[in-house]
Amino acid sequence: MLSTGTASTRLKELIIVRTSPVNGTPYCLAGHTILAQRLGWTDEQLAHLADWPRRGDFTPAEKAALRLAETVTRDASSVAHAQWPELRGFYSEGQVVELLCAIGLFNSFNRFKNAVRMEPTKPGEGGCATLEVEKAAAS
């Protein structure tokens, strides 16, 4: 269970990184993988995130959130009744709502970026990547 009233940024970043490949959105996956790494998720965890149900390096609470993310991303109306007690065993109702908001928001971002065929940029090619290079150069 999370110790605060809000779902952790670290956990939300993990579910964002899971929704993007399910939706086939390399743009979001590229940027959010970097953020997830900065928040402490390992390269191994992120590289094999699709195999999360069989991995031992995710807690039962993290697996419940990942299951919710995958289910909502694939078909929001297919969330099983059994998932709600599992989620409430780890998260408050507010935290579940917060997780659902993050999942829904990034599903929307994924679909928008897929519709306009956004591709990830590399440092120096514009967009957010350029800002990171400029910030680093200014330091």
The distance in angstroms from the start CA to the end CA of the chain is 38
Residue-range definition of the domain harbouring residue 130 = 9-138
Asked whether residue 98 is assigned to any structural domain, the reply reads yes
Q: What is the CATH number of the domain that holds 93?
A: 1.20.1290.10
Asked whether residue 53 is assigned to any structural domain, the reply reads yes
At 28-85, the pLDDT tens digits run 788 889 899 999 999 999 999 999 999 999 999 999 999 999 999 998 888 888 889 9
Q: What is the mean pLDDT of residues 103-126?
A: 75
Q: What is the mean pLDDT of residues 21-25?
A: 85
In angstroms, rounded to a whole number, what is the distance separating the alpha carbons of residues 97 and 80? 16
If one counts every other C-beta atom within 10 angstroms of the C-beta of residue 116, the result is 7
Asked whether residue 4 is assigned to any structural domain, the reply reads no
Asked whether residue 2 is assigned to any structural domain, the reply reads no
- What's the total number of domains in the chain? 1
The predicted model scores a pTM of 0.78
In angstroms, rounded to a whole number, what is the distance separating the alpha carbons of residues 36 and 86? 24
pLDDT at 72: 94
Of residues 135 and 110, which shows the higher confidence score? Answer: 110
Q: How confident is the model at residue 137 (pLDDT cuts 50, 70, 90)?
A: low
Asked whether residue 92 is assigned to any structural domain, the reply reads yes
Of residues 122 and 118, which shows the higher confidence score? Answer: 118
Asked whether residue 1 is assigned to any structural domain, the reply reads no
Asked whether residue 121 is assigned to any structural domain, the reply reads yes
What is the rounded average pLDDT for all residues in the chain? 83
3-state helix, strand, coil in the chain (%, to 5): 75, 0, 25
Asked whether residue 3 is assigned to any structural domain, the reply reads no
H-helix segments, 39-82: 43-47, 60-75
